[in-house]
Amino acid sequence: MMSKRNIVGIFFFLVIALLFVIAALTTHEFGHPEKSVIPDMDDHIIDNTQTETGANNAVTSVVFDYRGFDTLGEATVLFTAVAGVILLFRRLKK
Amino acid sequence: MSEMSKIVKTISNIAFPLVLIFGLYVIAHGHLTPGGGFQGGAVVASACAMILVAYGSVWTMKKIKEKHLSLFESVGAIGFIGLAFLGLLFGLVFFKNFLLGEGLIFSEIGQGLSNINTAGVLPLMNFAVGLKVIAGLFAIILVMAYATNKLKGGEN
Amino acid sequence: MIYNIPYFAVAALILIGLYAVVFKRNLIKIVIGITLIESGVNLFLITLGFRENSVAPIHTAGTTEKTLMSLPVPQALTLTSIVIGVAVLALMLSLVIHIYRHYGTLDVRKIKEVDE
Amino acid sequence: MDFLATLVNHSPALIIAVPLLGAFLTPLIGKINGKVRNVFVILVVACTSFLIALLAYNVFTNGALSADAVTNNIQTYVFGAKDIGTPAVRIAFEVDAMNAFMALIAAILPLAAVVYSWAFMKDETGQDKYYTLILLMTAGMLGMMLTGDMFNFFVFLEITSIATAALIAFRIDQKYSVQAAFKYIVISSIGALFVLFAVALFYGQYNALNMAVIGDSIKYTMLDKIALVLLIASLALKTGIAPMHMWLPEAYGRAPSSVTVVIIGTTLGSLYAMFRMIFTVYGKHIWDLGKTMALQLPQLLGILLVALAILTIILGVFMALKQSDLKKMIGFAAVAEIGYMLLAVGSAIATISLNESGVTVMTSAGQMALKGGIFHVLNDALDVGLLFLVAGAVYFAAKETSLNKLGGLARNMKYTTVFFLIGLFAVSGLPPLNGFASKLMIYESTYAINPILSIAAILCSILLLATFVKVFHSVFLGPKIPKFSNVKEVPKSMLIGMAIIAVIIIFIGLFPNLIVENIVKPASEALMNYGLYLGGI
Amino acid sequence: MLEFLDPFLKTLQTDSGFWNPILWGFAFVIIFLIAYIIRGFGKQAYKEKTEQTKAFLSGNPEYEKEQMHIKGSNLYWGFMEIMKFAYDKFNKMHNGNTGDYVLWFVIILGIFFIVLGVL
């Protein structure tokens, strides 16, 4: 049976689906990102990764040098999760 | 979870060093080949998870406690942020790649199919993050397996 | 139009995950829905960075300046996002274990506060 | 270049890095001794607050400490290089007056929380992880408030969410705290994922992740509209704006009080991020009406936000009046307070229009509303934080938070009662404390914009006062109940933690003009001239 | 010599008025003094610790402490009764169902999309 909640939910799900479909249609063509790129960050990275960071792997140069602060946050997220899990499964008695 | 049969234990004993070596290779060549600290650490942690599945969480918990693992993880994290602080000290900017072109270790500029002695602090950061990911993921798996085991045993 | 099929896969993944979170009643299914949303977003990031007939962004002996490489930044962002997803998943599952200890059920309609 | 100038130049990085390093070191130091660990944590948080004070002073005075780091009240810091080249590939922090203002809020709350925790957490197990997660929450909150990079904002949002969820479930033997933590992690991860989707939309269009670069090159295409919708909705979810606020009272109420004080800061960080997205990233299309906009974006956006704000205020106040649990009641009051800020800022957005000479301006009432809203962010953080600390003191002393069982505690807990009275006067907007000044500005300006809003706000404020009078009566007044006849005053560290916030509240209440002129006005102007922020990179 | 006090003593000017806690404090003190003087004109026959300070419940004995203390949920009972129509809706909104919380988010997302994106 369709409760009121489900009807409202389905309707707004259709609206959200419309949102995502429009997003999918108006994004640039798959495989051709050059069209809409204004400041070409990635080509700059690909060209200068060896001279600026000395790494052959551009992804590693991005992860650890250009956006190293994100990686610090990422490592912090993992640290946080471990601390949280150990906190949740701790013993309660001293 | 309880321990499994002798076949599984033997196979995992054989497979464990191979997976370990492969994971360490991925960590060490992070700046040259696909992969890096996170990926290699995940590989090694999966090897440890295989041992956990084969031998059971109680046995593994006897061998290594999760607090030691979290200490290892703290060491890895401190190494990572310490490298960033060293960049602040020597390169005068936080997260500066201060080893590059200094003539010390890892100081060469990677050209073509280059050797491992490149990319400044990136390999060191790879090692730090690798240690951190190994310890962290294994700690998570171990603690959750042990807790669920206790839950099945009925003693909360 | 035919080029945008991966983006439709992204939309489908996100919508299925959201549907699971809203309309499913098992906590484990809700967790699965969140991971579905997350993989949809990761797929969107990684598809944004693809160039047609390009190689991985790694300079080897074979690559020259002319070699077309796929964009490296989305791959780094996806790596970060995947690790974050693992952390969130671990915490959510441990919370589910505790909820099961306390309530003895995984039905989301019974997991609530009753104000006395 | 002397040491202080160097410290100020690097302070945006150190503000994040010092709590992180402290968090990584805490498990090692916890091996030594509990007291050493507590002293270490308090020192780390105090250092962070000191750095924030230096940075804020340098930003507000436009380079009194280190002139070369600041250009027209914006201090930028690039990670990994001297300056951010073109294109902006590296992560940059861009601290203007608004960031500095939020960072000042984030400097007060964790300090009070860790001082308070010394005695509050004395008998609990797992204190190493507790302090680690508190420091991680602080770092993530500060990162959210200072960063100038979209993806970096997402990362810090997730750090804050995970640490907060783990801490909400700190009392794992209480089923309600565990389920509140689960709801919180579900809600916040969904919100963060939609933020990430919006960031990916930006990246796919402009191939940039820096807020200033995106705001500079934004064209308000269909994808930008979708990104705006996703950003506002998910950040409103994280902020706890009705009707998406239900997770907030449960999370606030079931977490330990020392944690709740920091959660307030993280919630306000999400609110700040929403303002930043609206005013700066989409600034061109909020402010350049005459040229680009066919439909008036500010009016639509302002009306939506004001409607949500009124709903938030009414729901929060009515549900708070009904609650029978002390901490959940304060949580609903916090929801209502968030509604006041959103009401002020939404009505300020709605007043943006073209004047007769074809220039986009915000009316003077709108500017007053914006100032009042931003001032109220500070006041709300302090007032609700103090009330939660008092509730934690009541729980610590009587091991009970139900309003139906408590009573007559004022006879044994004099200082706690005084602090509660200060918080009561402040949060319900009674003179002479700080809540009155900001609410006065909000009432006046919204009355000039639309009288009905102001009347509804005033009526709900009266109901808020009634709510806390109920708490005061049923917890502190009344005859001495035998069950609580031997409760004692809480230990010194908890009193100090409450006193830190109470003193600041009284100071702001006595000298509101000082704060408004020197801190709030620059912050609102920093929100209004988006051009400076975009030109910062 | 006291010019460093000037920023502290400035008055917060709003569009249609001003707010100065110092002046407010002075006014409060004066009004309090007046009220205290008026209180002095009160009944002089009041004595401590006599029958007139005892609680008189129409001859019934005094209750114990627990019963004398009005519980928190008993306050504002009439307001709750009048606002019942609203509280029923609110309580239905606040069922602790996580799916409903996310559904509210979806609804708000849809409304924002209709208003901002489509219009």
Residues B110, C59: C-beta atoms closer than 8 Å: yes
Give the pLDDT band of residue D290 (cuts 50, 70, 90).
low
- At a CB cut-off of 8 Å and minimum separation 6, what does D312 contact? D241, D242, D245, D335, D336, D338, D339, D342
The pLDDT of residue B103 is above 70: no
Residues A84, D166: C-beta atoms closer than 8 Å: yes
DSSP 8-state symbol, E17? E
Find, among D283, D273, D277, D268, the residue nearest to D341 by Cα: D268
User: Burial letters for D113-130: b for 16+ Cβ neighbours within 10 Å, e otherwise?
Assistant: bbbbbbbbbeeeebbbbb
Give the model's pLDDT for residue D295. Answer: 59
Give the pLDDT band of residue C29 (cuts 50, 70, 90).
very high
DSSP secondary structure string for all residues of A39-84: S-HHHHHHHHIIIII--SBHHHHIIIIITHHHHHHHHHHHHHHHHH
SS3 D166: helix
- Please state the rounded mean pLDDT for residues D356-379: 86
Give the model's pLDDT for residue D160. Answer: 93
- Please state the rounded mean pLDDT for residues D362-387: 90
- Please state the rounded mean pLDDT for residues D399-406: 84
Distance CA E79, CA E76 (A): 5
Closest residue in D to B132 (Cα) is D24
**pLDDT exceeding 90 applies to what percent of chain D?**
34
- Token pair for residue D392? 């934690």
Give the model's pLDDT for residue B153. Answer: 53
Give the pLDDT band of residue B156 (cuts 50, 70, 90).
very low
The pLDDT of residue D519 is above 60: yes
The pLDDT of residue D243 is above 60: yes
Cα-to-chain-centroid distance, residue B57: 20
**pLDDT exceeding 70 applies to what percent of chain D?**
98
The pLDDT of residue D123 is above 60: yes
- Please state the rounded mean pLDDT for residues D308-333: 90
Give the pLDDT band of residue B114 (cuts 50, 70, 90).
low
Whether a cis peptide bond, with omega within 30° of 0, leads into D431 is no
Give the model's pLDDT for residue E1. Answer: 60
- Please state the rounded mean pLDDT for residues C70-86: 89
Closest residue in E to D433 (Cα) is E21
Burial class of C43 by CB neighbour count within 10 A (0 to 12, 13 to 18, 19+) = middle
Residues B93, D79: C-beta atoms closer than 8 Å: yes
Distance from CA of C101 to the nearest CA of D (A): 9
Residue D70 contacts residue A49 (beta carbons within 8 Å): no
The pLDDT of residue D317 is above 60: yes
Chains D and A make contact, 3+ CB pairs within 8 Å:
yes
By Cβ distance, the residue of B137, B140, B148 closest to C97 is B148
Give the model's pLDDT for residue C1. Answer: 65
Residues in chain A with CB shorter than 8 Å from the CB of C5 are 30
- Token pair for residue C50? 């693809």
Give the model's pLDDT for residue D340. Answer: 92
Give the pLDDT band of residue B69 (cuts 50, 70, 90).
confident
D474, D506, D517, best to mutate vs chain E, most E CBs in 10 Å: D474
- Token pair for residue E81? 């009764």
> Rounded to 5 degrees, what are φ and ψ at D399?
55, 40
The reply to whether the predicted model has a pTM over 0.90 is yes
Residue D216 contacts residue D288 (beta carbons within 8 Å): no
Distance CA D9, CA D530 (A): 23
pLDDT tens digits for range C32-69 = 999 999 999 999 988 888 887 777 777 776 666 667 77
Determine which of A32-36, D158-162, D215-219 has the lowest per-residue pLDDT on average.
A32-36
- Token pair for residue A42? 């990635």
DSSP secondary structure string for all residues of B50-105: HHHHHH-HHHHHHHS-HHHHHHHHHHHHHHHHHHHHHHHHHSSSTT--TTTTSSST
What count of CB pairs under 8 Å joins A to E?
Answer: 25
Q: Does A69 touch chain C (CB under 8 A)?
A: no
Residues in chain E with CB shorter than 8 Å from the CB of A25 are none
By Cβ distance, the residue of A60, A69, A74 closest to B31 is A60
Determine which of A88-92, D130-134, E53-57 has the lowest per-residue pLDDT on average.
E53-57
Determine which of B109-118, D395-404, D440-449, D520-529 has the lowest per-residue pLDDT on average.
B109-118
Give the model's pLDDT for residue D310. Answer: 92
What is the count of structural domains for chain A?
1
Domain span at residue D390 reads 2-535
- At a CB cut-off of 8 Å and minimum separation 6, what does E103 contact? A5, A8, A9, A12, C22
Read off the amino acid at residue D468. F
C28, C55, C59, best to mutate vs chain B, most B CBs in 10 Å: C59
Find, among D94, D15, D4, the residue nearest to D51 by Cα: D15
The pLDDT of residue A35 is above 60: no
- Token pair for residue C32? 């699965």
The pLDDT of residue D459 is above 50: yes
Which residue's structure tokens are 């900017």? B93
- Token pair for residue C65? 């300046």
pLDDT tens digits for range A47-84 = 777 777 777 778 888 888 888 888 888 889 999 999 99
**pLDDT exceeding 70 applies to what percent of chain B?**
81
Other C-beta atoms closer than 10 Å to the C-beta of E63 total 12
Give the model's pLDDT for residue D191. Answer: 93
Give the model's pLDDT for residue D502. Answer: 92
DSSP 8-state symbol, D84? -
Find, among B61, B63, B25, the residue nearest to B41 by Cα: B25
Find, among D437, D237, D431, D465, the residue nearest to D333 by Cα: D465
pLDDT tens digits for range D85-119 = 767 788 888 888 899 999 999 989 999 999 999 88
Give the model's pLDDT for residue B112. Answer: 57
CATH number of the C2-52+70-115 domain = 1.10.287.3510
Q: Which of the two residues, D520 and E11, has the higher pLDDT score?
A: D520
For helices D247-254 and D150-168, angle between their N-to-C axes, nearest 10 degrees: 60
Give the model's pLDDT for residue C62. Answer: 64
The pLDDT of residue D161 is above 50: yes
Give the model's pLDDT for residue B113. Answer: 56
Domain ranges of chain B: 6-151
Domain span at residue A38 reads 4-67
Mean of all residue pLDDT scores within chain B: 80
Determine which of B4-18, C6-20, D37-51, D279-293 has the lowest per-residue pLDDT on average.
D279-293
Give the pLDDT band of residue D46 (cuts 50, 70, 90).
very high
> Rounded to 5 degrees, what are φ and ψ at D150?
-60, -50
- At a CB cut-off of 8 Å and minimum separation 6, what does B9 contact? B3, B54, B55
Q: Does A54 touch chain D (CB under 8 A)?
A: no
The pLDDT of residue A88 is above 50: yes
The pLDDT of residue D15 is above 80: yes
Residues in chain C with CB shorter than 8 Å from the CB of D180 are 113
Distance from CA of C99 to the nearest CA of B (A): 12
Chains E and A make contact, 3+ CB pairs within 8 Å:
yes
Residues D318, E73: C-beta atoms closer than 8 Å: no
Find, among D293, D289, D303, D296, the residue nearest to D348 by Cα: D303
Give the pLDDT band of residue E81 (cuts 50, 70, 90).
confident
- Token pair for residue D516? 């408004």
Mean of all residue pLDDT scores within chain E: 81
Considering B71-75, D381-385, D484-488, E74-78, the range whose residues carry the highest mean pLDDT is D381-385
Read off the amino acid at residue B142. L
Helices (H), chain E: 6-9, 21-40, 65-68, 77-82, 84-93, 98-112
- Please state the rounded mean pLDDT for residues D318-340: 90
The pLDDT of residue D165 is above 90: yes
Give the model's pLDDT for residue D355. Answer: 74
Q: Which of the two residues, D1 and B150, has the higher pLDDT score?
A: B150
